Amino acid sequence: MLDKQKFIGYGLFALVIVAVSAYFIYPINKSIKLGLDLQGGASVLLQAKGTAKAPVTTESMDQAENIIRQRVDKLGVAEPGIIREGNNYIQVQLPGIKDPNKALDVIGKTALLEFREVLDSEVIGGKKLTVTKDPTSDKDAVLIDKDKKMKYKVGPTLMTGSAIASATAGYDTNNKPQVDLTFSAEGGKLFDEVAAKTYKKQLAIVLDSTVQSAPSIESQSYNGRAVINGSFTLDEVKTLALVLQTGALPVKLEMSDIQTVGPTLGLDSLRAGVLALIVGFILVIIYLLVYYRGLGVIATLALAAFAIILFGFAAFFGTYGKSIGLYWNMTLPGLAGIILSIGVAADSSIVIFERIKEEIGSGKTYRLAMEQGFRHGFLTMVDANFVTFITAFILYFLAVGPVRGFAFTLMLGVAIDLFVTYFFLQSMLGLTLNWKPMQKSAITGMKGVV
Amino acid sequence: MQRFHFEFIGRKKVWFGISGTIIILGIIAMMLGGLKWGVEFQGGNQFDVKFKKAPTVEAIRTTLATLKLGQSTIQPVGTGNEYLIRSERLSGDTRGQVETALKKAFPVTDISARDIGPGWGQQVTDGAWKALIASMFVLLLYISIRFEFKMAVSAILALFHDGLVVVGIYALVGLLEAKLGLAWIPSEITPNTVAALLTILGFSLYDTIVVFHRIKENAEIIGKRTYSIMVNDSMNQVLMRSINTSLTALIPVFVLLIFGGQTLKDFAFAMFVGLISGAYSSIFIASPILALWKETEPRYIMVREKLARGGKGEAAASSKERTTPTETKGFTPEAPQAGNIITGVTSDEVGMPPPAMTPTPKQKTAAQKAKKKAKKKKRR
């Protein structure tokens, strides 16, 4: 048990993790992404309201999220965040945006589905066509397709999505996916006129000024029914059918929480939070040092390791979170979670030290007291941390909104705390076992309060 | 080693009385409308405006009156240059007009705004309830497996206690502030408060688990103590630990309450009350409930009856255990038959080192035992 090599190994392992975390953190102002409540910006919570015709389903929410994403992309915000909350909420975050009210208009508007004649087209990167800045329905415009592969020059709008009665995904005779369209009585007539005009040409289906598809017109008379085919995957066909069917969003979205935070006020919050974090941290360290003396030094180092690893995770998610689909940035609730988890981390050292103290008090040698004290104390804190983890875990999956950011931080904090205690604290205790000043200070430090 | 000799279990009526009073007062305050629901629950608009130089509330109201919003609540926050303005829900255009009007009339540094439909707060609360109920079940199961069912139920009851205390205190403070027209403690319920409350419940369990761990350990070397006395001893053993863990958790939260901005204070107050209640309930609520319940088990009833029959000496000794530590008169004659020797013998049998034992119990002579006892006496 008192294996020096084991302690050195554990200690080194912990230090490597600390070093990796420090590497992720540096430089801190770039690695940790601040939420908009700390850096200013706008957020809007969109609530999907299902109707009999357009119910809220996973599929329709996916589709709505995609459309919202396309709209947000057009705003040119550096780090937009689009997060699904619960079954029927989409949270859009626009950190650092200059004119929040205009942005909210763009996101919240009812999208327009238009059919426009394709006059010309070119692969993205070509020089011939220049994308139109503010395209309107009544003039020629150069638009990009949804996959950002093609540029299309299109004429004025010929008809809108209101002409469509239904659109469904299906298969053609060769079992290739296609979209089946049915027009309304009036829409059918209108479509025949359009078809006559664009016969043997391409017709662009445009949503929110983005070309969704540009099928070519192969007939002049459709009798109210049409199919769109080509080399589509089933998913593409489904998406296209949804777009055509609903004209815009597959479900009705209402803005249920709009928040704009001024940059100065965000900075105020950040300063207050960081100040509280630092002062709280220092006070806890002073308490530990005064009360536990020699052991307090170990506790302080463990707390520092804990903080570095926790911020390392924050930095990791801030830098790489997007590519692994875990959008997490530092918000006020997150900061509160971190401050609370400092308390949890200090508790672990205390539980173990108090146990060691008891063992020494019952007449054990310093060595034995350390060993047994750690074992018993660690067992206690595993149970205690585990129940905290359970609560945070369930919160994270069942709750919505600010509760989740808070729960996630706490979950991370509890897990890191277990890691630091087992590897770092244990190794520090083990390695200083034979160090006389530590023994002496630890014991006198304890006797001071017995 | 037991450094303290406080009476926890014996005075359970006092602790239950204190908690009961706070909870009942809280419920009365709630019925009197003490709970202040944040804008997230009612729906509406809120503007957080920071001015370069603070205008008077009346001046702001006059400006808002031009937009027919003279009825809005205007509340100073923070250092005084900042105001929180609340109104009913406005259309998107009106929201912009308010901001423009304020910027025109006063030297405004910055504005943050919220526009919330009435459903969001409810959505958060619904999710929280679901999470709460689910975690209760999981925790009940986990503690039952790791410890025992009675401990699980006692721990959960302590959680309910904490929840009621926090909500009750919110209602009391809210009522008090409304009566005095103050706003120095953020006693408004927001989704953030709900988040803080839920996590605090998990954290409150931390303390309870630490205490129960010791009770579980000591139950194996209970000897001829009644369950209540064993629980009381356990709590005296872990007292310093509980105080220290609670203090280190409270320090950062307290700092947050002092230095944190508006939103962080929302969290901090709920956490602050919750942490104190959680630390209190693990010792003064969860453990007495557990002791009361366990005492109904036949084997502990037997122990109790045996102790009662066992003559004056033992009965006196056990009541000795129940007295305050300062009361050491008459200690010497009773000591030889009292809990001390009993614990000593038991620990020999079990081989576990409880109070004042050396790690090699078997070689201990009677003389050494006597010496230990003397030492113990001194400590008391």
pLDDT tens digits along A196-221: 888 888 888 887 778 878 888 888 77
Q: What is the 3-state secondary structure (H, E, C) of chain A?
A: CCCHHHHHHHHHHHHHHHHHHHHHHCCHHHHCCECHHHHCEEEEEEEEECCCCCCCCHHHHHHHHHHHHHHHHHHCCCCCEEEEECCCEEEEEEECCCCHHHHHHHHHCCCCEEEEEEEEEEECCCCCCCCCCCCCCCCCEEEEECCCCEEEEEEEEEEEHHHEEEEEEEECCCCCEEEEEEECHHHHHHHHHHHHHHECCEEEEEECCEEEECCEECCCCCCCEEEECCCCCHHHHHHHHHHHHHCCCCCEEEEEEEEEECHHHHHHHHHHHHHHHHHHHHHHHHHHHHHHCHHHHHHHHHHHHHHHHHHHHHHHHHHHCCCCCCCCCECHHHHHHHHHHHHHHHHHHHHHHHHHHHHHHCCCCHHHHHHHHHHHHHHHHHHHHHHHHHHHHHHHHHCCCHHHHHHHHHHHHHHHHHHHHHHHHHHHHHHCCCCHHHHHHHHHHHHCCC
Buried b (16+ CB within 10 A) or exposed e, A243-277: bbbbbbbbbbbebbbbbbbbbebbbbbbebbebbb
Predicted confidence at residue B336, as pLDDT, reads: 39
Question: Chain A 383-412, CB below 8 Å of chain B: which residues?
Answer: 383-388, 390-392, 394-395, 397-403, 406-407, 410
CA proximity to A247, closest of A202, A206, A188: A206
**Poorest-pLDDT segment among B32-36, B210-214, B361-365:** B361-365
- In Å, how far from its chain's centre is CA A404? 11
Q: Residue type at A275?
A: L
For residues A304 and A214, which has the higher predicted lDDT (pLDDT)?
A304
Give the residue among B336, B345, B347, B343 at the shortest CA–CA distance from B311: B336
| Assigned domain for B300 exists | no
Q: Indicate if B66 and B165 belong to the same structural domain.
A: no
DSSP B362: G
Residue B211: give its domain's CATH number. Answer: 1.20.1640.10
Interface test with A, best of B111, B253, B256, B347 (most A CBs within 10 A): B256
Asked if B1 is an interface residue toward chain A (Cβ–Cβ < 8 A), one would say yes
Is the residue at B109 inside a domain? Answer: yes
Give the separation between CA B93 and CA B86, rounded to whole angstroms.
16
How many angstroms from the chain centroid is the CA of residue A113?
30
Tell me the ipTM for this assembly.
Answer: 0.74
Do B32 and B84 share a structural domain? no
Mean pLDDT lowest among A96-100, A431-435, B240-244: A96-100
C-beta of residue B114 within 8 angstroms of C-beta of residue B46? yes
| Statement to judge: residues B194 and B260 lie in one domain | yes
Could you tell me which residues come within 8 angstroms of residue B103 by beta carbon, excluding any fewer than 6 positions away? B111
B342 against A410, higher pLDDT: A410
- Higher-scoring residue by pLDDT: A410, B351: A410
Tell me, yes or no, whether B191 lies in a domain: yes
Sheet with A210-213, side-by-side order of all strands: A141-144, A150-160, A113-123, A203-207, A210-213
Length of chain B: 380
Shared-domain flag, residues B145 and B18: yes
Which residues of chain B neighbour A390 with C-beta distances below 8 Å? 135, 138-139, 142, 202
| B213 assigned to some structural domain | yes
Q: Chain A residue with minimal CA distance to B272?
A: A340
B271 shares contact with chain A (CB less than 8 Å)? yes
The better pLDDT of the pair A38, A53 is held by A38
Can you spell out the DSSP letters for B223-272? TTS-HHHHHHHHHHHHHHHHHHHHHHHHHHHHHHHHHS-HHHHHHHHHHH
Amino acid residing at A46: L
**Most distant CA atoms of chain A, gap in Å:** 100
- Helix B92-105 vs helix A100-108: crossing angle, to nearest 10: 180
What pLDDT is recorded for position A280?
92
Residue B161 in any domain: the answer is: yes
Of B261, B294, B327, which residue is a domain's last? Answer: B294
Residue with the larger pLDDT of the pair B4 and B369? B4
- The CA-atom distances, in angstroms, between A269 and each of A262, A273, A405, B64, B265 are 11, 6, 17, 26, 11
B2 inside domain? no
Cβ contact (<8 Å) for A402 and B124? yes
Q: Kindly identify which residue of chain A lies nearest to residue B251, measuring between CA atoms.
A: A280
Q: Of B97, B116, B135, which closes a domain?
A: B116
Q: Is a pLDDT exceeding 60 seen at residue A27?
A: yes
CB atoms within 10 A of CB A187: 19
Residue B121 C-alpha, separation from nearest chain A C-alpha, in angstroms: 9
What's the pLDDT tens digit per position in B40-59?
A: 788 888 888 888 888 888 88
Residue whose tokens read 């366990």:
B294
Structural domains of chain A in order of their starting residue, each with its CATH number = 4-35+262-447 (1.20.1640.10), 41-109+253-258 (3.30.70.3400), 113-247 (3.30.1360.200)
CB atoms within 10 A of CB B336: 12
Least reliable range by pLDDT among A205-214, B97-106, B243-252, B338-347: B338-347
Residue B34: pLDDT over 70: yes
Pick the more confident residue, A416 or A248.
Answer: A416
Confidence of residue A334 (pLDDT cuts 50, 70, 90): confident
On whether both B168 and B285 belong to a single domain, the answer is: yes
Q: What is the mean pLDDT of residues A54-82?
A: 76
Is a pLDDT exceeding 80 seen at residue A447? Answer: no
Query: Which amino acid is residue A207, in one-letter code?
Result: L
Mark which of B234, B269, B294 sits at the end of a domain. Answer: B294
- Evaluate whether residue B226 is within a structural domain: yes
Q: In this complex, is the C-beta atom of B107 within 8 Å of any C-beta atom belonging to chain A?
A: no
Model confidence at B210, in pLDDT bands (50, 70, 90)? confident
Q: Is the pLDDT of residue A162 over 60?
A: yes
Q: Say yes or no to pLDDT of B330 above 60.
A: no
| pLDDT at residue A368, as a whole number | 86
Q: How far is CA A199 from CA A167, A179, A194, A214, A222, in A?
A: 21, 19, 8, 13, 12
Confidence class for position B378, pLDDT limits 50, 70, 90: very low
Contact yes or no for A387 and B205 at CB 8 A: yes
For residue B301, tell me if it sits in a domain: no
Confidence of residue A339 (pLDDT cuts 50, 70, 90): confident
- B51 and B177 co-located in one domain: no
Question: Do B171 and B241 fall within a single domain?
Answer: yes
Question: With pLDDT > 90 as the criterion, what percentage of chain B qualifies?
Answer: 24
- Taking the CA of residue B245 and the nearest CA in chain A, the distance in Å comes to 5
Q: Which domain holds residue B347?
A: 310-379
Shared domain check, B131 and B76: no
* CB-based contact A385 B127, cutoff 8 Å: no
DSSP code of residue B86: E
Does residue B136 sit in the same domain as residue B273? yes
Residue B197 and residue B149 in one domain? yes
Residue B81 sits in the same domain as residue B98: yes
For B92, which residue in chain A has the nearest alpha carbon?
A101
How far is Cα A100 from Cα A94, in angstroms, rounded to an integer?
8
B143 interfaces chain A, CB cutoff of 8 Å: yes
SS3 B188: strand
* Domain count across chain B: 3
Which chain B residues are within 8 Å of A343, Cβ to Cβ? 248-253, 275
Sheet holding A252-261, edge to edge: A81-85, A89-95, A41-49, A252-261, B108-116, B44-51, B82-87, B73-77
Query: What is the residue type of A449?
Result: V
A279 touches chain B (CB under 8 A): yes
Q: Does residue A335 sit at the B interface (CB-CB below 8 Å)?
A: yes
Give A34-45 pLDDT, tens digit per residue.
888 888 888 888
- Tokens at A36, concatenated: 């908009």
What is the pairing mode between strands A113-123 and A203-207?
antiparallel
Tell me if chain B has a CB within 8 Å of the CB of A281: yes
Backbone conformation region of residue A188, classed left if phi is above 0, alpha if psi is from -120 to 50, else beta = alpha
Residues B101, B203 within the same domain: no
Would you state the pLDDT for residue B159? 92
Q: Please list, residue by residue across A210-226, b when 16 or more beta carbons sit within 10 angstroms of its beta carbon and e when fewer do.
A: bbbbbbebeeeebebeb
Residues linked to residue A113 through DSSP beta bridges, in sequence order: A207
How far is Cα B109 from Cα B105, in angstroms, rounded to an integer? 12
A290 in reach of chain B (CB within 8 A): no
Question: Does the CB of B194 have a partner CB in chain A at under 8 Å?
Answer: yes
Residue B241 touches partner A, C-beta closer than 8 Å: yes
Whole-number Cα distances in Å, A147 to A77, A160, A170, A329, A444: 19, 22, 22, 28, 71
Query: Does A347 sit within 8 Å of B248, measured CB to CB?
Result: yes
Chain A CB within 8 Å of residue B191 CB: yes
Determine the distance in angstroms separating the CA of A354 from the nearest CA of chain B, rounded to an integer. Answer: 6
